[in-house]
Amino acid sequence: MPLLSKEEKRNSIALPKINQIDSVTQRYGETAIIRGKGRSISGACLKCKNPRCMRFPEAYISCPEFEDFSYERNNNVCPVDAISWDYSKDIPRIDHEKCINCGICALMCPIGAIYSDGNKVYVSEPRNDYSILPVTASNIRLQEELFTRLMTLNWQHRFLHESQSIMSNIYKKVSKFDGRSMSANLLIRNLMIAVGHHCSISRTGDVYTRIDAVYSDGDIYDACYGAMEIEFGRDTLDASRGILDDIAVLHSRNGIDKEKNTALVACLSFPNKRQGYFQVIKDVNKVLNLKIQTVSLGALLILAWNGIEVDFSQKDFYADFDNLSIRSALNNNIKRRVELPEGFLGILEPEK
């Protein structure tokens, strides 16, 4: 029995042989271009059986180093429930009212079929030349083969180029998050995954877990991992104290060595100097020799949009009372200057 039906053969004809695909690039505002043997195709939805743009595999939302951490099992890629399956077209549909343009779904799509024009995010519909792949046993196999190949390649991934208007729109939407919902924590967790980590957030309604989240880069020989505090409000001083609490609890009760705990505070905007946050961070470094790093939502978005796998073990994102900026860490990671003015929305340094 042939592996592919005639229709399937016809529809997969424009693909170079899977093992001949040698590069994938995605430019800002476009779907990916997949190249091999002098041919190229642009990313369009393959109607996945298990859409990676919608659900994370369990391994991404759990951290092996923190096996006692009671984590949230919601594995939605979209932190605001804006992506769902459109059964009429048999591809994902994006609710533009809910979507905040974070791009996480796009980064998870193995074929780069999701893109943004700066305002709205779209799923590129299947094209006649290659991607009408009805879900049959043979096509699932083909899809998996293709995705495995695509994921082993060095992607050049560009989702959005940061600008003041794009960032302002996102921050406006995020500032409307209901403080009791999980959206802020899910957004940070999912962005941490998008920049190459496993990340778990504490379970909804779990009043016993003080720690907001934990992350790990998953390196089997020398993993970089740590506790996280997530603070989208104005209570950043509490975040600096909370992270100390997390480090102490994990050290004394769970055997997570405080020296190995590469702790992070994720905030919406950098607190200003007067709020005391950066003074506490400096004190902790001086007295305990612990460099607690700070990342903002905007910084994580820029890193994710540029397809960067961030290495927090270098402590590049350490900012304190004497150096209030993570701008050079961002510039070094994305290998160009971030195009946001100083203090803009408190993304890279406190607002002026």
Q: How far is the CB of 236 from ligand SF4 (least distance, A)?
A: 25
Which tokens go with 153? 């390649």
Site for ligand SF4 in 236-295 (CB under 6 A): none
Type and span of the H or E element at 42: strand 39-42
**56 or 69: whose CB is closer to ligand SF4?**
56
Q: How far is the CB of 308 from ligand SF4 (least distance, A)?
A: 17
Which residues are CB-contacts of 351 (< 8 A; sequence separation ≥ 6)?
269, 270, 272, 343, 344, 345
3-state secondary structure of 261: strand
Instruction: Output the CA–CA distances (angstroms, integers) from residue 108 to 85, 158, 168, in the order listed.
Output: 16, 13, 24
How far apart are the C-alpha atoms of 206 and 71, rounded to whole Å?
A: 9
Q: How far is the CB of 103 from ligand SF4 (least distance, A)?
A: 5
The residue from 21, 56, 92, 194 that contacts ligand SF4 (CB under 6 A) is: 92
Given the rule CB under 6 A, which of 31-39, 42-50, 164-172, 278-286 is the region that contacts ligand SF4? Answer: 42-50
The residue from 21, 63, 80, 281 that contacts ligand SF4 (CB under 6 A) is: 80
Residue 303 touches ligand SF4, criterion: CB under 6 A: no
Q: Which amino acid, 169?
A: N
Can you say whether the dihedral through the CA atoms of 347, 99, 31, 3 is positive or negative? positive
Mark 46-65 with x for binding to ligand SF4 (rule: CB under 6 A) and - for no binding. xxx--xxx------------
Would you give the DSSP letter of residue 198?
A: E
Q: How far is the CB of 45 from ligand SF4 (least distance, A)?
A: 3
Of 42, 129, 50, 120, nearest in space to 85 by CA: 50
Residue 109 touches ligand SF4, criterion: CB under 6 A: yes
Beta strands in 62-203 (DSSP E): 83-86, 91-94, 114-116, 121-123, 156-157, 198-201
> In this structure, what are the phi and psi dihedrals at residue 243, rounded to the nearest 5 degrees?
-70, -30
> In this structure, what are the phi and psi dihedrals at residue 295, rounded to the nearest 5 degrees?
-130, 145
Residue 307 touches ligand SF4, criterion: CB under 6 A: no
Residue 103 touches ligand SF4, criterion: CB under 6 A: yes
**16 or 276: whose CB is closer to ligand SF4?**
16
Given the rule CB under 6 A, which of 96-104, 216-224, 238-246, 295-303 is the region that contacts ligand SF4? Answer: 96-104
Given the rule CB under 6 A, which of 12-20, 76-84, 313-321, 342-350 is the region that contacts ligand SF4? Answer: 76-84
The residue from 121, 188, 338, 345 that contacts ligand SF4 (CB under 6 A) is: 121
Residue 298 touches ligand SF4, criterion: CB under 6 A: no
Burial label, 25 (beta-carbon count in 10 A; 0-12, 13-18, 19+): middle
# of chain residues touching ligand SF4 (CB under 6 A) = 28
Q: Which residues bind ligand SF4 (CB under 6 A)?
A: 45-48, 51-53, 77-78, 80, 82-83, 91-92, 94, 99-105, 109, 111, 113-114, 121, 123
